[in-house]
Homo-oligomer: A and B are copies of this chain.
Amino acid sequence: MYILPSSLCYNRISRKLRDAGDAGRNRCILQFAIMKHVYSSEQFTTGFITELFALTDKIRANPGDFQDALKGKVIATLFYEPSTRTRLSFESAAVILGAQVISTENAREFSSAIKGETLEDTLKVVEGYADVIIMRHFEDDSAERAQKVLSVPFINAGSGKREHPTQALLDLYTIYREFGRLNNLRVACVGDLLRGRTVYSLVKSMMLFENNSFIFIAPENSRIHADMKNKLNMSNIDFIETDMLDESILRKVDVVYMTRIQKERFDNEAEYLRAKGKLILTNKLVNCMKDDAIVMHPLPRVDEIDVEVDANPRARYFTQAHNGLWVRMAILAGYKNA
């Protein structure tokens, strides 16, 4: 069985059993090869990404080898706000690896949260029932707080508006999978670049690799944050900004990463419609792109990608969503038996 070249060894069930006076089930020692908690895209390094994607490829190539990787383990999914696609992909990943899942769709209505219990107390109770906790929470600092208090491995499935590290990883994996590399790529990011968290994570992660460049295409009032531009400038990374999704740009890029424009952010309907009209990806536009270029979107989409594009050979947004299963399997498999 594949064993990760790990140094950090995490040992949860065996601790629980030892506390219970038992040594019998020591085949259940957990080994988290990558990092104990996955809570922020700030943790990512080229080494981590490379190792994780190698494992992801290995699982895709021989999933049967991993069907008992998490046998005997219990994974808790605590969702304080609904995010069914993320939850279902994590739960599918867990059960394909042989784990069992305990789950709450809407933890916000926990009687205990309503009664004034802190997130820390809730987590310290639940860690008694599960070997890994996967949480989505509406507060920006929730993942940071969770990883501080938990002794079982914690995976952030989205915290407030700030972090969604496994989304960032599946985005990166989709690019890696298509191009066989994460360097020397030109990426156009389109939509509301001011508010969406996915574009920030993507750009920051791609900055770790050499010679990537960016084109930011956004309406006047939704441009990418100055902080990000400063970061890019300080790292001497090329980027340009525009508010127009036109053929001259699309011809040059390897990746178009579309995001939703949120109507409610605009001052008036007319301004919204004007902005939006310039940022809809049609088949005509996609056909200007290079043959091996790809179209991505974190989904859900509303109408920023015309449905006719779905059949275009460059469309990768559903593949991208499906890649979430493989990447999350790889993350969870990091907690498998030694």
Contact = CB atoms under 8 A, between A and B. Distances in A.
A274 to B, nearest CB: 20
Interface string A113-156: 00111000110111011100000000000000000000000000
Copies in the complex: 3
A126 B300 contact: no
11 contacts: A22-B64, A24-B65, A25-B67, A67-B72, A76-B88, A83-B111, A85-B110, A89-B129, A91-B102, A115-B302, A121-B301
State which size class the interface on A falls in: 35 or more
Interface in A61-107: 61-65, 67, 72, 74, 76, 78, 81-85, 87-89, 91-92, 95-96, 100-107
Interface string A302-338: 1000000000000000100110111000000000000
A228 interface: no
Given A85-B112, A129-B92, A22 B302 contact: no
A200 to B, nearest CB: 19
Nearest to A129: B92
A136 to B, nearest CB: 10
A82 B105 contact: no
A322 B128 contact: yes
A299 interface: yes
A41 B82 CA distance: 33
A64 B104 contact: no
Given A22-B62, A24-B62, A85-B125, 7 more contacts: A17-B63, A21-B61, A81-B111, A82-B106, A112-B299, A112-B300, A128-B325
Nearest to A110: B84
B110 A82 contact: yes
A125 B299 contact: yes
Contacts of A325: 128-129
A234 interface: no
A324 to B, nearest CB: 8
Interface string A11-38: 0000001001110110000000000000
Contacts of A92: 74, 76, 102, 129-130
A117 B297 CA distance: 13
Contacts of A103: 103
A247 interface: no
A186 interface: no
A164 interface: no
Nearest to A28: B64
Contact of A85 (B63, B72, B126, B324): B126
A60 B22 CA distance: 7
A308 B92 CA distance: 39
